[in-house]
Structure 1
Amino acid sequence: MSRSQELRSMLRESSEINIVCHNNPDPDCLASALALGRIAATAGIDERHIFYSGDISHQQNRAFVNLLNVDLKPFDTAEVEDRPPGSLLAFVDHSIPGRNNTVPPDTPVDIVIDHHPAEDIDARFVDHREELGAAATILTEYVRALEVDLDSDLATALLFAIRSDTLDFLRGATTVEYEAAGYLHDHGDPELLRKLSSPSVSGGTIDAISTAIDNRRTNGAVLISHVGRTTERDSLPQAVDYLVRLEGVKTAIVFGLVKESIQISARSPDPRVHVGEVLNNAFGDVGSGGGHHDVAGGEIPLGLFADYVTDDGQLLDIIEQVITTRLVAELNLSAEADGSELT
């Protein structure tokens, strides 16, 4: 039995599916959730729910939800704690309860479909392919194998997700992504794809990127910066995507204060640096961090910082020193950067 057939068999034995997106879901996660919901519908499941935690703040993510009319609901722990018999819990584009989601740790999970590096994944059905560039690639394979009706909205969602997660096939794309995109292209809506690809940018995002540019410090081929406090969480990956293009920079890391946590985003086309491992090693004891060798993210609760410092300026100074010191140590950098100390 193929994995797609195995999945459909499990779905046919169930009456409800709760698909949980990771915190602040991106197009890959959202499109994968849509596709899994569509597959569940063809298997006879009428009760289908897509949940998320955090915020949908990135302009592309907001456009995705609005233009495709994605029915999302804020996640509540009661959704997984009080599930009736026959109800399934599914993760797409992430895999571990409590990591990049607000599902309580040790919660039993039924379905995991993911492509991010992870260990100790525990679920009844697992399709975990780190070698692929997008979770949407896996869901496209299922849709095709199971002959699910592929309307233009779903095709466009999956195609945009693959393009987005691979930076238009420049990052982590495999022949499987190209094959999936070729299949989806014939069913997609070019005008909708154009709208998804070029949404307007908020002033808060521009301000955060500008702050990151002003605060940048380089040490050899490594750039570290911060956006200060921002309500635009997704300005961090946008800032780091911009700064890693700076001449001479091979690794860029940007952090910032978002609500009650420190968010971190990292990029590194340098094959000698695995930024997922860098963030995990540097901050795994105080928060979470990880990802691919070239793309990674992390989150640290403010905790004691917020308890003892109420002024944002002082708080940011302390956080900048602590974050930078850990990164300098993990990356084996010297203490000097463009004439200014990083530590």
Structure 2
Amino acid sequence: MPAAETLRDLLSEGTALTIVCHNNPDPDCLASALALGRIAAAAGVDERRILYSGEISHQQNRAFVNLLDVDLESLDPEAVRDRADGSLLAFVDHGVPGANNRVPEGTPVDVVIDHHPHESIDARFVDHREDAGATATILTEYVRDLDVEIDATLATALLFAIRRETLGFLRGATSAEYAAAAFLHERSDGDLLRQLVSPAVSGATADAIATAIENRSIRGSALLSNVGRTNERDALPQAADYLATLEGVETAVVFGIVEDAIQLSARSTDSRVHAGDALDEAFGDAGSAGGHREMAGGEIPLGIFADDAADGEKLGSLVETVVTARLADASGWRKRRARRERARSETSAR
């Protein structure tokens, strides 16, 4: 039986569907949740809700929720774990309880649809495609294959999500993304799409990006930048996107302290560096980290690096020292830098 039909049949067994987004959800996660909700409605599931935890602070994410009128609720971990019989639980754009979400570890999951790397996923229905450029691509296929009614709002949401996740079809895009975009294009709202692409940027976000640019440290083809303490979590991936475009830079990692955790965002075009593996190797034992070859992120509890008494410049300095050392060890940048320095020395000697 085709995967889309298998998913529909499973959904039709439930009396309700809870769709959990990952922490601080982005357009790919939100659009996928919207599409899965539409599929569930078509399958006869009357009660549907989309839950999230963290913040929606990136200006594009806020515009996405507001312009598309996405109905979101805060996640209550215990309520999700202890949900009523017949209530199905679905993850989109993430796959494991407790990893980039606040769902208690070991909670049974019914549906997982994702394109991020995972070692193991346990659910009744799993569509895990690491080669897909976006989770929204997979949901677009389901909507099309099941002939689910798609209005301009959903089409625009999915199209924008695919565009954003692949950086305008320049990062990780496959023929499936182009096929999905072709299907969605004629059904989407062009004016709404333009508003989502170019939302207003807050002054605080611009300041955080400026700090990342000012504090950049380039080591060979790798760039590291510490923005210090900030409330603008989503400025980190924006800064990483920009800094990765600098001449000579193949890998950029931006990190900072947000509330009680260290947030990291990495971008890489270096074929020798898998950004997700590098962050996981560096910080997997201390928090949650990982992602794709070209883009990755991480969140590490601040207590791992400093005692509660540390603050201000002392804390910032300690975080930078530990993060930089771990990244260098995990990625092999230190070894490659040493080889380059030896080569330059030998050339000078000759």
TM-score (norm 2): 0.94
- Who is 1:85 aligned against? 85
> 1:87-106 residue pairs with structure 2 within 5 A?
87-106=87-106
Q: Are the equivalent residues in 1 in contact too, given 2:81–2:103 (CA < 8 A)?
A: no
Q: Are the equivalent residues in 2 in contact too, given 1:112–1:127 (CA < 8 A)?
A: yes
- Who is 2:235 aligned against? 235
Does the residue aligned with 1:19 lie in a helix, a strand or coil?
Answer: strand
Percent of paired sites with the same residue? 64
Structure 1 residue 334: Cα displacement: 3.9
The letter for the 1-side match of 2:300 is I
Partners of 1:243 and 1:324 in 2: CA distance: 17
The letter for the 2-side match of 1:126 is V
Residue 304 to residue 277, structure 1, CA distance change in 2 (3 Å): closer
Structure 1 residue 304: Cα displacement: 4.8
> 1:178-217 residue pairs with structure 2 within 5 A?
178-217=178-217
Deviations 1:1-28 (A, max 9, x none): 1100001001111100000000000000
Structure 1 residue 306: Cα displacement: 5.2
Does the residue aligned with 1:123 lie in a helix, a strand or coil?
Answer: coil
Partners of 1:309 and 1:228 in 2: CA distance: 17
> 1:107-122 residue pairs with structure 2 within 5 A?
107-122=107-122
Q: Are the equivalent residues in 2 in contact too, given 1:208–1:228 (CA < 8 A)?
A: no
Q: Where does structure 2 lack aligned partners over 5 or more consecutive residues?
A: 339-350
- Who is 2:155 aligned against? 155
The letter for the 1-side match of 2:117 is P
- Who is 1:256 aligned against? 256
Partners of 1:328 and 1:78 in 2: CA distance: 39
- Who is 2:332 aligned against? 332
- Who is 1:309 aligned against? 309
Q: Are the equivalent residues in 2 in contact too, given 1:237–1:266 (CA < 8 A)?
A: yes
Partners of 2:102 and 2:40 in 1: CA distance: 23
Q: Are the equivalent residues in 1 in contact too, given 2:305–2:322 (CA < 8 A)?
A: no
> 1:38-77 residue pairs with structure 2 within 5 A?
38-77=38-77
- Who is 1:164 aligned against? 164
Q: Does residue 314 of structure 2 align to residue 323 of structure 1?
A: no
Deviations 1:290-343 (A, max 9, x none): 111110001100115453434222111100000001111222334989xxxxxx
Partners of 1:13 and 1:296 in 2: CA distance: 36
Residue 280 to residue 305, structure 1, CA distance change in 2 (3 Å): closer
- Who is 1:16 aligned against? 16
Partners of 2:306 and 2:175 in 1: CA distance: 47
Deviations 1:205-251 (A, max 9, x none): 11111111111111100000011111111100000001111110000
Partners of 2:166 and 2:304 in 1: CA distance: 37
Partners of 1:308 and 1:71 in 2: CA distance: 37
Does the residue aligned with 2:110 lie in a helix, a strand or coil?
Answer: strand
The letter for the 2-side match of 1:131 is D
Partners of 2:300 and 2:178 in 1: CA distance: 36
Q: Are the equivalent residues in 2 in contact too, given 1:309–1:315 (CA < 8 A)?
A: no
Partners of 2:139 and 2:71 in 1: CA distance: 18
Partners of 1:163 and 1:304 in 2: CA distance: 36
Q: Where does structure 1 lack aligned partners over 5 or more consecutive residues?
A: 338-343
Partners of 1:215 and 1:243 in 2: CA distance: 11
- Who is 1:143 aligned against? 143
Does the residue aligned with 1:296 lie in a helix, a strand or coil?
Answer: strand
Partners of 1:308 and 1:47 in 2: CA distance: 44
Structure 1 residue 30: Cα displacement: 0.1
The letter for the 2-side match of 1:137 is T
Partners of 2:311 and 2:149 in 1: CA distance: 55
> 1:286-297 residue pairs with structure 2 within 5 A?
286-297=286-297
Structure 1 residue 79: Cα displacement: 2.5
Partners of 2:109 and 2:214 in 1: CA distance: 44
RMSD over aligned CA atoms reads: 1.4
Partners of 2:220 and 2:103 in 1: CA distance: 40
- Who is 2:346 aligned against? none
Partners of 1:80 and 1:258 in 2: CA distance: 26
Partners of 2:330 and 2:81 in 1: CA distance: 39
Partners of 2:51 and 2:307 in 1: CA distance: 31
Does the residue aligned with 1:265 lie in a helix, a strand or coil?
Answer: strand
Partners of 2:43 and 2:111 in 1: CA distance: 15
The letter for the 1-side match of 2:55 is D
Partners of 1:79 and 1:203 in 2: CA distance: 37
Q: Are the equivalent residues in 2 in contact too, given 1:92–1:112 (CA < 8 A)?
A: yes
